Amino acid sequence: MLLVSTYRIDEGLAECEMALKLDPSSPYNKTTIAEVLAIRRRPKELERGLVLAREATSQLPGDPHSLEVLCGLLIETRNRAETESCVERLMTVDPKGLIANYLSALLAIDHGQWYWARKKLEEAHAAGLDEPDYQRLLAAISDGETRSDASHSRRSVKLPSPDFVWAVLWVVFGWLAVMCILLITGDALSSSMLKAIDRMNPKDGVVGGSRKLYKGVLVLAGLYFYFSIPFLLVAVISGGLGILYFFVAQDALPIYLLFVLGVGVIGTLSAVLRSLFVRTPPAALGLRTELAHQPRLRALLDEVAHAVAARRIDAAYLVPGTEITITESSSLWQSLCGKTEERSAILGVGAFSGLTQLQLRSLIAHELGRFSNAHTAGGGVVLGVRRSLAAIIVRLSKTGLKNALNPAWWFLRGYYRLYMRMSQGASRLQEVLADRAAIAAYGTNAFVSAHRKLISRSVEFQHQVDMVIREVVDTGSALPNVYEYVPRAAANPEALAKSAEKKLAAEPSLTHGLPSPRKRIEWAESMAVERAAQGGDDEPVWALFDDREALERAMTAELRIRLFVKRGLSIAETEHQAEEREHLEQDKQTIAVLVARGDPLTTPRSVQHWACFNTAQDRARFIAEAKSSGFESEEDDRDPGESDPFGVILTRTDRVDLESIHAVVMNLVTMANRYSGDYDGWESPVQEP
């Protein structure tokens, strides 16, 4: 390049060509020739220079000089698409380099991105760009900015007047002020209601406090939430447009930012609007049991509804756990009007063990009593607000919009917490009145024993499920019925009793209005309501259903599905499924060894199988059946002290691809099980391709 620098270009090119002939694979020789050809600027030679420069950069992808030469040639040949990718690569390799920033400034000028052009030019100047070149490009950028500003002034949207901005700010301030007044007043009334409930005489059930005022504030705060939704939607849209306008004004609009803004705004709007008409899909409640086919359960539910003067239950759903509750499906408008589409009982099969029908009546009476006293909590408005807020938060979480940069998330989350806090007094009053309804209908003893039983059973069942799952996963066992499965490790009764007592004494959270279970039991005992025993009171809950085994297996199947979906645990339903899964994994491992040794698995070959039995007679019968299927046999006795000492080796020519050999294995497994034996596996010689 010394000759080239002294303007003896042809001589310099000849020297470079000679160097390339001596070492045609050298990326440095290729780069040097490409650089000389770029200086000569002859069209045909430029194409050759491009070829050499591309080869050099493929050999030296991290070499700044090779990339600089390639980018220069691409600019000379006006290859715009490849020029941009080349400059991006150069900036990655040499972010502080003179040429890299200079070329980046040129591209930014070409795209009219004046801010980035000026920034890259300054970095190139700091890296040593000549003053004349710097001033020339700086003038071009300034001229471009002037023309761009003039163009923007002709087509820009007129900014709102100061009076309009102040009016909007006063509206927002007023909206926030009214909301704060309602929430603070509601919280104070809620605290007053909680204190009044604590002072209440359980026998007369008279609760002091400003119940009408409290109810009015709750309703107003609930309606105010729906009134605020248009403001929230406008704020979300305005925020997105404001960010968009800012970047457009800077002549820079990153595509990724546009995508994120679109997803955020549209996702938030969708979550908010859909929540206004949210309803719980019946499929999510559990396994629906047709009450027409369970007449004893239908009669019990109707009796309880009549006893507490509540609307009858329309449907019943069974779930694997121990929850017993009542839920209603309704849209927002139905909640506001106090109407529902379907009232459903959710019955946890895990709670049925040891639970009497009288205890179940008392539990359901309490749940129905909550709906009978819904007016104490502001009626359908409060219920609708809770559902809508919870639904929006869940939808935002599921769509990935639960983050610190989403103002709608913070508003909704804060409003939900505050509204739950201010309504906890109403919730507790509702629960207390529901308890009174259940106690009045079925007596104190039934109420107390039912709640103690439900708490202890929930602790026992959760412990049992945890132990069973751990055991079947560790051992690979099947789980056809979790309710009848007895774990090998015995539970600790003292530990379970302590856990139940802890749960019994658990205090409610700040946003939860329920009294502690112990407090509810104390109130019930102080009421001392007697009830004469009636026929069927002590009958077990399972007597209400026709096929206990089928229902328990169905609930176990639901539990297996939940474990697979939430924790990725695959548990077999039957021992046969567990055994087949175990042999399938063993077959895969054996085949993997063959493949690793170069076996194509295409050639049938002699395959040996092992099995063992407890008696010689069982082995003889197994051999006889195996021979009828074309197997040859050889007895393989073991130490008499071992279990199943009477072994056998079977041999037959078979294919060893997974489908073929697994079918053979499972036939032999079934055959061995028929004669109280165990199948021990197979092996095959490696076949060369």
**Which 3-state string (H, E, C) describes 194-236?**
HHHHHHCCCCCCCCCCCHHHHHHHHHHHHHHHHHHHHHHHHHH
Q: Is the dihedral of CA 50, 56, 57, 62 positive or negative?
A: negative
pLDDT at 221 over 90: no
DSSP 291: G
The structure tokens listed for 628 are 């009828």
pLDDT at residue 332 is higher than 70:
no
Against a cut of 0.75, is the pTM above it? no
Specify the residue for token string 């009593």. 369
Average pLDDT over residues 498-525: 77
* 564-574: pLDDT as tens digits: 767 777 776 67
* Paired residues of 611 in beta bridges: 648, 679
Residue 525 pLDDT greater than 80, yes or no: yes
Band of pLDDT at residue 349, cut at 50, 70 and 90: very high
The least confident of 173-182, 278-287, 584-593 is: 278-287
Please state, in angstroms and as integers, the Cα–Cα distance from residue 539 to each residue in 113, 299, 306, 317, 352, following that order. Answer: 82, 14, 20, 21, 11
Please, which residues have CB within 8 angstroms of residue 119's CB and are 6 or more apart in sequence? none
Percent residues over pLDDT 90 in the chain: 19
- 396 vs 389: CA distance, rounded Å: 11
Work out the pLDDT band at 280, boundaries 50, 70, 90.
very low
CA atoms within 13 Å, Cβ hemisphere of 495: 7
In this predicted structure, the answer to whether residue 270 has a pLDDT above a threshold of 50 is yes
Buried b (16+ CB within 10 A) or exposed e, 284-319: ebbbebebeebeebbebbeebbebbebeebebbbbb
Output the average pLDDT for the chain.
80
Q: Of the segments 113-117, 279-283, 540-544, 659-663, which one has the largest average pLDDT value?
A: 540-544
Q: What mean pLDDT do residues 626-646 have? A: 87
Q: How many CB atoms lie within 10 A of CB 473?
A: 15
Residue linked to tokens 């104070």: 188
pLDDT above 70 covers a percentage of the chain that reads 82
Confidence of residue 2 (pLDDT cuts 50, 70, 90): very low
Pairing of strands 315-319, 342-348: parallel
Confidence class for position 361, pLDDT limits 50, 70, 90: very high
**Per-residue pLDDT, 351:** 93
Find where tokens 């209603």 sit: 328
Helix (H, G, I), strand (E, B) or coil at 54: helix
**Is 448's pLDDT higher than 60?**
yes
Q: What angle do CA 179, 269, 328 make, to 5 degrees?
A: 75
Per DSSP (E only), the strands in 384-436 are: none
Summarize the confidence of residues 174-201 as an average pLDDT: 80
